[in-house]
């Protein structure tokens, strides 16, 4: 049963990833060729695969540049691909951002800018606001990533410390027409949050950014304090005429991935319940909440009956207090294994659809009813490792890491909990 259950979970995850493949989801959204030039720009973990999808289906000439994470490039013929660091920006990303701004400067109303944005674009497209250094942004970025802040909070702060995010890139493109194609990795699919909305009007304010830094007790260097208190920290707001020619389409999101996984589950004979596509909160808290739902099903105190499948998406957070390794999916899975405590016939997978859990080399992990028993035999203390935020060490020791490499898309996390019956997986 264990082998079959793990196979089903991997099939679910692959279906979710495939549903968000740029080769499939991007072509229907391509606009008509303009009278003038077509310039392709973009940033994100899927930016290179999106650029290739454009080249494969575009009728006419084009040029441009996109920036993606190290190891996520794919060969393109006309669009240049640059790799940079994620989740903390580096000089390569800063250079790429400036080159993109240079590419869109001086365009006419006859020209088209096709902007390809996916998760990870905030770090990859890094252009510090005037008066700030890359080091200033790196320090704030690192602190926010460890703080437990939500992605919307992190990106609000990023927008107001940037010369390119929060609609500023679209303003630089004016008067050219801008068509933005988005692969969403944020709960709720708000275009202004995805990659910090470089081509989308921004309703947030510099005061909001200041409050977020205060909320999470993030140290603010003097240059950042000065900037946030200045008028230049404000982003283009709704109604800004420079963004009037802007068109935005979400071409793939967590909901698409969950529906694809659900279809696989139903074909395998499971009742399917999608708990939500925009779940946030501390990873271990979400794990405990979902473990309680599982226990209700097992006790026949829930409308669902085994065999069934619980699916959820979104982006949890981890407030890092220990010195271990692992992303939010390993944290979720380890907390879930502890909460389930070896409950019979319950299996789960938690993976990031980009193939990278946090900053590690795994997409996520799989757990089974024997996870804690095998860990005890291997001398792995689940509670101690969770306290140290060391889920990677725990699952690496068991051989239960899911390794996919970069998937070249990103619609956030997929969590699937499979509740089997004896003889069924």
How do 308-314 and 413-419 pair as beta strands? antiparallel
Burial of 203 (0-12, 13-18, 19+ CB in 10 A): middle
pLDDT averaged over consecutive 10-residue blocks of the chain (425 residues)?
Answer: 90 97 97 97 98 96 97 96 96 97 97 97 95 94 93 96 97 97 95 97 96 95 94 94 94 97 96 96 97 95 92 95 96 98 97 94 97 98 98 98 97 96 66
DSSP state of 212: H
Give me the pLDDT at residue 131, please. 94
What is the domain partition of the chain in residue ranges?
A: 2-16+255-419, 23-252
Cβ atoms 197, 166 nearer than 8 A: yes
Give me the pLDDT at residue 397, please. 97
Starting from the edge strand earliest in sequence, which strands make up the sheet with 177-183, in order?
Answer: 79-84, 63-69, 38-43, 112-118, 177-183, 246-252
Q: Residue 385, SS3? A: helix
* Nearest-angstrom CA–CA distance, 89 and 256: 29
* Nearest-angstrom CA–CA distance, 379 and 312: 31
Calculate the dihedral angle through the C-alpha atoms of 117, 120, 125, 130, rounding to the nearest 10 degrees: 120
Could you give phi then psi for residue 52, rounded to 5 degrees? -65, -40
C-alpha 30 chain-centroid distance? 23
How do 364-367 and 346-352 pair as beta strands? antiparallel
**Structure token digits, residue 272:** 């399917």
Give me the pLDDT at residue 2, please. 80
Give me the pLDDT at residue 423, please. 54
Q: Which CATH architecture has domain 23-252?
A: 3-Layer(aba) Sandwich (3.40)
User: What's the CATH number of domain 2-16+255-419, 3.30.110.60, 3.30.70.1060, 3.40.1480.10, 3.40.50.1390?
Assistant: 3.40.1480.10
For tokens 């899927």, name the residue: 46
Give me the pLDDT at residue 424, please. 62
């Amino acid at each position: 049963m264990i082998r079959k259950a793990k196979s089903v979970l991997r099939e679910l995850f692959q279906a979710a990833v495939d549903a968000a493949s740029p080769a499939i989801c991007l072509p229907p959204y391509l606009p008509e060729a303009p009278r003038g030039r077509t310039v392709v720009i973009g940033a994100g973990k899927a930016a290179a695969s999106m650029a290739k999808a454009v080249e494969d289906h575009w009728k006419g000439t084009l040029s441009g540049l996109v920036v993606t994470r190290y190891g996520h490039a794919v060969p393109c013929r006309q669009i240049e691909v640059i790799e940079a660091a994620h989740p903390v920006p580096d000089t390569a990303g800063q250079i790429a951002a400036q080159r993109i701004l240079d590419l869109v400067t001086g365009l006419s109303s006859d020209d088209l800018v096709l902007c390809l944005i996916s998760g990870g674009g905030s770090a990859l497209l890094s252009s510090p606001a005037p008066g700030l250094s890359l080091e200033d942004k790196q320090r704030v970025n690192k602190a926010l990533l460890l703080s437990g802040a939500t992605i919307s909070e992190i990106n609000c702060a990023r927008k107001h410390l940037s010369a390119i995010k929060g609609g500023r890139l679209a303003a630089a493109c004016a008067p050219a027409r801008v068509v933005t194609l988005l692969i969403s990795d944020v709960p709720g699919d708000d275009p202004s949050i995805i990659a910090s909305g470089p081509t989308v009007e921004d309703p947030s304010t510099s005061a909001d950014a200041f409050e977020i830094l205060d909320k999470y007790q993030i140290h603010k260097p003097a240059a950042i304090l000065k900037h946030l208190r200045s008028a230049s920290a404000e982003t283009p707001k709704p109604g800004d005429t420079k963004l009037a020619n802007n068109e935005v389409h979400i071409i793939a999101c967590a909901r698409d991935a969950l529906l694809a996984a659900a279809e696989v589950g139903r074909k395998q004979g499971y009742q399917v319940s999608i708990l939500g596509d925009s779940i946030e909160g501390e990873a271990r808290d979400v794990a405990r909440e979902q473990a309680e739902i599982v226990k209700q099903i097992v006790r026949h105190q829930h409308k669902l009956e085994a065999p069934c499948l619980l699916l959820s998406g979104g982006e949890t957070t981890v407030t890092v207090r220990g010195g271990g390794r692992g992303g939010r999916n390993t944290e979720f899975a380890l907390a879930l294994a502890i909460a389930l405590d070896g409950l019979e016939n319950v299996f789960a997978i938690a993976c990031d659809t980009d193939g990278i859990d946090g900053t590690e080399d795994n997409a996520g992990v799989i757990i089974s009813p024997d996870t804690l028993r095998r860990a005890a035999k291997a001398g792995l203390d689940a509670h101690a490792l969770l306290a140290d935020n060391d889920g990677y060490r725990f699952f690496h020791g068991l051989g239960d890491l899911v390794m996919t490499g970069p998937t070249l898309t990103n619609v956030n996390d997929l969590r699937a909990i499979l509740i089997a019956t004896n003889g069924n997986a």
